[in-house]
Amino acid sequence: MDNPAQARTRIEWGFLIALLVTISLAFAALIKPFFGAIVWAVVVTVLFRPVYDRLLNKLSGRANRAAAVTLILILLLVVVPTILLAMALFQEAGSIYLRIQDGEIDFGSVFQTFEKSLPGWLQAQLTAFGYGDLASIRAQFEESISAILEFVITQLFTASQGIFQFLLALGVMLYLTFFLLRDGHDLINRIRQIVPLADEKRQILMEKFLIVIRATIKGSLIIAIMQGTLGGLVFWALDIRGALLWAVLMGLFSLVPAIGTGFVWVPVAIYLLVAGHLWQGIVLILCGVFVISMIDNLVRPILVGRDTRMPDYVVLISTLGGLQLFGINGIVIGPLVAALFIAIWGIFSEMHQAQEQVIASE
């Protein structure tokens, strides 16, 4: 039996742990409305930390001034362009949607031309597989396009309606970013002291956390921006209307492994070929295969460097799951959770094997 001192210590520890869990849950509920702002503040801090360190050296160690200048760069390079892009996208998506509703963009004539151009044996094969009714396929296609555009417009309109919440979240993100830049090293040291693991294992978790953020942003978001930009320029050069909308869609789909930008430009290329715009369709296919789609293979090794990559199937599942649970924030949260899951299980496996070796040697 425990002596009175040990019993009292055990009671104190039990009470402290219960209080810690309760307060932690209450704090989590408290910051839940700003969860996305906190996530992106951490992401932006990790990305712009090298910029802050350089400014800190040039400004003779003046941390406040270096953090303020870095914050101004973040506003100019990230925040303002994103807001302008969202406004332009809202206008363009609305314009295309209205043109479809007014009949100015007529998918029916394109499908009729496509149906007439099919050879008889191919029409028979489509009928045998249950795809002979091209009219119903056309209707489904039109409904899908309209639904996608309506979804984009609805999301942008909802965001514009919640302008106060958006500005509040943006202010919280920038405010946190300032202090994370200035006090980042102190916060990391405190976290290391709190985590009850050996120094080596704490270092593994911290490195995995930083690697995943850098690899996700540098290896995914930046490449998505490049692919979307190039794709939009190709669409604009080919005089395809809605180039900005297609560029954004290509950027979004490029974030999802096994889908990529081909989910956008391939149907558009087929549409151009069927509509009789042969040279435009062929140029789009060539640019899609040899320019847009090759960026990932050429640029990712340069940006990511030696950062470890998770298997594509893990990235796919974690990204889709993150998007479903956390919205746009899931692009970062999903792969991050998956990477930490793999890292923690790896540490557990190493500890278990080491314990078994000790038992076996006894």
pLDDT per residue as tens digits for the range 334-354: 877 887 787 777 777 777 777
Q: What is the pLDDT of residues 257-275, one digit of tens each?
A: 667 788 888 888 877 777 7
Q: Which two tokens stand for residue 283?
A: 């140029």
**Average per-residue pLDDT in the chain?**
76
Residue 77 vs residues 44, 71, 73, 74, 108: alpha-carbon distances, Å: 11, 10, 6, 5, 43
Residue 99: which pLDDT band, with cuts at 50, 70 and 90?
low
> In this structure, are residues 31 and 145 in contact, taking their beta carbons and an 8 Å threshold?
no
Q: Where are the beta strands (DSSP E) in 171-325?
A: none
137 vs 359, residue with greater confidence: 359
> In this structure, are residues 150 and 97 in contact, taking their beta carbons and an 8 Å threshold?
yes
For the chain, percent of residues with pLDDT exceeding 90: 6
Mean pLDDT of 245-259: 78
Q: Could you tell me the end-to-end alpha-carbon distance of the chain, in angstroms, rounded to an integer? A: 28
Q: Which residue has the tokens 């009949």?
A: 103
Q: Count the alpha carbons within 13 Å of 311 in the hemisphere toward its beta carbon.
A: 4
Question: What is the separation of C-alpha 22 from the centre of its chain, rounded to a whole number of angstroms?
Answer: 32
